[in-house]
Amino acid sequence: MISILERLMYEVSNLFLPPVLLIIVALFFYSIVQTGVFFAEMYKRRQNFQNYNTYLKDEINNEISGYPIMKYLSNKTFSSIEDIEMFTFKKLENTSLVTRVTPMLGLVATMIPMGPALKSLSSGNIQGISDNLIIAFAAVIFALLTSSITYTITSVRRRWYANEVKDIIELQKAKNESA
pLDDT digits (tens, 9 = 90+) for 115-169: 888 888 888 888 888 888 999 999 999 999 999 999 999 999 999 999 999 988 8
Q: What is the pLDDT of residues 24-46, one digit of tens each?
A: 999 999 999 999 999 999 999 99
Residues whose CB is less than 8 angstroms from the CB of residue 105 and which lie 6 or more positions away in sequence, other chains included: 20, 23, 24, 27, 139, 143
Asked if residue 40 belongs to a domain, the reply is yes
Asked if residue 179 belongs to a domain, the reply is no
Residues whose CB is less than 8 angstroms from the CB of residue 160 and which lie 6 or more positions away in sequence, other chains included: 45
Neighbours of 73 (CB within 10 A): 23
Q: What is the pLDDT of residue 128?
A: 85
In terms of Cβ atoms closer than 10 Å to its own Cβ (0-12, 13-18, 19+), residue 48 is buried
Asked if residue 110 belongs to a domain, the reply is yes
Rounded distance, CA 33 to CA 154, Å?
Answer: 14
Asked if residue 164 belongs to a domain, the reply is yes
Mean pLDDT of the chain: 89
Domain count, the chain: 1
**Domain extent for 35:** 2-174
Asked if residue 42 belongs to a domain, the reply is yes
Asked if residue 72 belongs to a domain, the reply is yes
Asked if residue 117 belongs to a domain, the reply is yes
